[in-house]
Structure 1
Amino acid sequence: MSYRRRKNSKGKSTVAFILIVLIIGIMAYAGSYGITLGGYRFKPFTETINRGLDLQGGVSLLEEIKSDNVDQKTIDRTIELISMRVNKLGVSETTVTREGKKRIRIEIPGKFDAKEVIDSVGKTGELKFVGPDKKVILTGKDVKDATSYIGEQDNKPTIGLELNTSGAKKFADATKKFIGQPIAIYMDDEMLTNPTVNTQITDGKAVITGSKSLEEAKRQASIIKSGALPVAVKAVEAKTVGATLGANALPLSIKAGAIGVGLIFLFMILYYRVPGFLADIALVLYIILVLGTFSTINATLTLSGIAGLLLTIGMAVDANVLIFERIREELKTGKSIKSSLESGYHRALSSILDSNTTTIIAAIVLYNLGSGAVKGFALTLMIGIVLSMFTAVIITRTLLRVGYNMGILSKLSCFRVKRREE
């Protein structure tokens, strides 16, 4: 009866092991090359993960606040409005960060026309609605919202304008007075659009047509919505990072990462043998989970992010090393393999939690106090550490249990232990 139970347990564990390896293998293939199931295509990570300026090139713009005495609240508001303008360009991986006391760095990956970027996001002066009598009707303070879309009736690019209470009253008076005449919208001295009033607008909601394209309507709507900045800023530096840099950096980074990970896998197998092989399977799942998380949260991967990823792979291996060494110590005291697996995990767990917790705290500090590449590194580090603990403590442990029940961990030589110490 006992023999039958062991045989059934071995069979179930073998099936479970094959399924685990098969699922991880399918996930790895899908992440690397993509896969189509039931008419739905799962894109590879190379298509779903955003790449930063240093990997794909783009425009880097440095703006400086002209005023000398500016408080933190004003700077934060300026960054918020500039970020609103930048992100309305439709480039989701843009970054707007403070640099020094009075400077703001804007990085837009995938864009290579610096002049176009400055024209689109560098509007720093006053937004105003001007009537045919050259008098200002509204300013940016009167605007509540502005959106862009394709009109359902005429199928043309359209801007939807919504005003606040005070703006709605002023606009109602102006549209009544200037029916059949244009009311121009200016940012500084540049006219954004010059629509003609067709009827009086009393509810504070207007529709502006005449944009040449939806992209132009988006740009105009973002400028109208963001209004005027609380302080004047000027562009002091604008540079284009060529796509060649990204084209060279990304393949080299991937190659270096693949070599490093490959050496780690080889070391684990040569030094820890069967447990090392099982740990490598868990590490493959770990890499898939990290890249999948980046894709899910629309994180932007930079060179510093790749460095953080490789560092967390090393830390994931370190957790396995602690566990395996503890297991070997337990085996050398004369305990059974099954007992050593359990006690080794329990003894190593506190060390793993302590070391990773301190690193997470450091990453949180870096993320909150740093900017740009430092934030990217910190975010990658935090995600990687959390997932590395999950794979080391849960997945590797499960694989070792399954391996023991299968019989591939039934000998001390599997753990590189030659004899038990009395």
Structure 2
Amino acid sequence: MVRYPRWKIILVIAVVLLGTALAAVNLISSERLQTLPAWVGDRQVNLGLDLRGGSHILLQVDTAALIHERMDSVVDAARDVLRGARIPYEGLGAGATEAAVTIRDETRVDEARRLIAESDRDLLVTVGDGGRISLRLSEEGMRQRQAAAVEQSIEIIRRRIDATGVREPSIQRQGSDRVLVQLPGVDDPERIKALIGKTAKMTFHLVDDQGASGGQAPVGTTLLPMREARGGDGQRRLAVRKRVVVSGENLVDAQPTFQQGEPVVSFRFDTAGGKRFGDVTTQNVGKLLAIVLDGEVISAPRIREPILGGSGIITGSFSVPEARDLALLLRAGALPAPLSILEERTVGPALGADSIAAGKVASVVGLILVAVFMGVAYGLFGLFAVAALVINIVLIIAALSLLQATLTLPGIAGIVLTIGMAVDANVLIFEHIREESALGKPIISSIEAGFSRALTTIVDSNLTTLFAGLLLYFLGSGPVRGFGVTLSIGIVTSMFTALTVTHLIVATWLNRTRPTLLPI
């Protein structure tokens, strides 16, 4: 009689039953899932873009706009430095890639160059003729700023997409200035593109009292288009002061709501932003405060009284979806630079259905061929191995469901590969059993020796493959990661089924039938 510990029997059966229950959730239709608790639907396998269909968008960060914005901040910093040192200057301004200033007192040119260089370590400051100083970003500074902008863009894009409820989006860097976004199952790609493409940079400016004269903006102001009510001609422009009185970076929350039956967006600042907002509204009662989003005035209410609570409301003849999307954009934060769409592809669900059907056929054919081979080579023991293989496949699907991993077409290839590899451990065990039986040992001794002798070899060979699968997952991207996921899970489950499930089946058969010969 083969002694198999009761605790181990309970553990193996519990794992198999739990795995079967988790895998069975994937057989429930989407209509039926709507009637079940939310946690049940959340345990289904997520299908990747190549299986479920969806949108594939390649974005590029506008580094030119990023550098131009950086040079504008360099000009502001240089102005503060020169004014603080009381150095007379003229012609301070920024171009696309560099800024320049002319120092009137040529005896103080070196002092001005030193002070500006000390204010920003990323600047290359050079002196030309006539006291002209040129300011450019160093190559290292430009690379660091570009890399930081791409990483920040990825994080903000992820926040925006997560807020829409898209499951398992793939957002990753590609090259030095590009971001690849893959959205499985997206049924409204235009809305997603609109959310991703908006910079969502919000600033607050005071409106100039004099306004534009003859179409020209007064000194220190700029003409910005005014968002008109739906149906307007969109030709109105407003003269707003260039100086930002409060930045959207200080926003901590924004929510869509209603005021007098109209959709609006309520917002709330952090402590510093709330204090600044309170000071501005206190000092400018009766004036117009323009709320500017991506270069467009979306609202310009009159300050009727100081707003000291650090919160306010944005009105602008919004529709309900527009108010919801604006609140989402403001909560997620502004992109560091504009994004342009370089490539867009839509993968239809029909292609995914064909891929899934082909993967099912490949899996079934592979399982049948393995079953035939094992039955012919090892007889009844081969059928035991096939039963363990079926349990192995169930456990793979259960693990994918439990971990919420994304199944891709290469992932299906990994499952098919696992079907072929899973019986390797059983082959090792059965061959060792044959060797022990050929030496004339009793049946029980041969079986126990076969499992114990094969243990070290099985663990060593599977661990090396497991390491390869984990490297594919952590170092790879896209389809490579999908293959690494299913391969790694398949290795773990195949070791479990070979060393425990097969052993339990064989031990149960021995204890019930007590054979005199091994059918192997």
User: TM-score range with shorter-chain normalisation?
Assistant: 0.7 to 0.9
Q: 1:126 is matched with which residue: 201, 218, 239?
A: 201
Matches within 5 A, 1:175-214: 184=291, 186=293, 188-189=294-295, 202-204=308-310, 212-213=319-320
Greater Cα offset, 174-183 or 234-243 = 174-183
Aligned residue for 1:240, secondary structure, equals: strand
Q: Report the number of matched residues.
A: 396
2:215 corresponds to 1:107 = no
2:465 corresponds to 1:359 = yes
Q: Considering only aligned residues, what root-mean-square deviation do their CA atoms show, in Å?
A: 4.0
Q: 1:82 is matched with which residue: 127, 150, 157?
A: 157
In the alignment, the residues of structure 1 paired with residue 475 and residue 397 of structure 2 have an alpha-carbon distance, to the nearest angstrom, of: 25
* Contact 2:58 2:344 (8 Å CA) reproduced: yes
2:338 corresponds to 1:265 = no
In the alignment, the residues of structure 2 paired with residue 317 and residue 197 of structure 1 have an alpha-carbon distance, to the nearest angstrom, of: 76
**1:244 match:** 350
Q: 2:250 is matched with which residue: 128, 132, 142?
A: 142
> Considering only CA atoms, is the larger Rg found in Structure 1 or Structure 2?
2
User: What displacement does 1:182 show?
Assistant: 7.7
* Contact 1:88 1:218 (8 Å CA) reproduced: no
**For residues 285 and 196 of structure 1, do their structure 2 counterparts lie closer, same or farther at Cα, with a shift above 3 Å needed?**
farther
User: What displacement does 1:250 show?
Assistant: 1.8
User: What displacement does 1:204 show?
Assistant: 3.8
2:175 corresponds to 1:67 = no
2:103 corresponds to 1:30 = no
2:361 corresponds to 1:255 = yes
**1:418 match:** none
**1:3 match:** none
Greater Cα offset, 126-135 or 318-327 = 126-135
2:511 corresponds to 1:405 = yes
* Contact 1:57 1:246 (8 Å CA) reproduced: yes
**1:54 match:** 50
Aligned residue for 1:412, secondary structure, equals: coil
Aligned residue for 1:70, secondary structure, equals: helix
**For residues 315 and 222 of structure 1, do their structure 2 counterparts lie closer, same or farther at Cα, with a shift above 3 Å needed?**
farther
Q: CA-to-partner distance for each residue in 1:213-253, whole Å, 9 max, x for gaps?
A: 4x655533331123222344321111212222123222222
In the alignment, the residues of structure 2 paired with residue 142 and residue 251 of structure 1 have an alpha-carbon distance, to the nearest angstrom, of: 51
* Contact 2:205 2:246 (8 Å CA) reproduced: yes
User: What displacement does 1:162 show?
Assistant: 4.2
User: What displacement does 1:201 show?
Assistant: 5.3
Q: CA-to-partner distance for each residue in 1:173-224, whole Å, 9 max, x for gaps?
A: 45665799886462x23577889989865454557788644x6555333311
**For residues 268 and 309 of structure 1, do their structure 2 counterparts lie closer, same or farther at Cα, with a shift above 3 Å needed?**
same
In the alignment, the residues of structure 2 paired with residue 48 and residue 124 of structure 1 have an alpha-carbon distance, to the nearest angstrom, of: 35
Unaligned runs of 5+ in 1: 1-5, 416-422
Percentage identity across paired residues of the two chains: 36
User: What displacement does 1:95 show?
Assistant: 0.7
**1:414 match:** 519
**For residues 64 and 340 of structure 1, do their structure 2 counterparts lie closer, same or farther at Cα, with a shift above 3 Å needed?**
same
Q: 1:164 is matched with which residue: 258, 265, 270?
A: 270
In the alignment, the residues of structure 1 paired with residue 246 and residue 469 of structure 2 have an alpha-carbon distance, to the nearest angstrom, of: 46
In the alignment, the residues of structure 2 paired with residue 397 and residue 278 of structure 1 have an alpha-carbon distance, to the nearest angstrom, of: 9
Aligned residue for 1:230, secondary structure, equals: coil
Normalization by structure 1: what TM-score?
0.78
In the alignment, the residues of structure 1 paired with residue 338 and residue 192 of structure 2 have an alpha-carbon distance, to the nearest angstrom, of: 18
Unaligned runs of 5+ in 2: 65-141, 209-239
* Contact 2:462 2:491 (8 Å CA) reproduced: yes
* Contact 2:407 2:482 (8 Å CA) reproduced: yes
User: What displacement does 1:55 show?
Assistant: 1.0
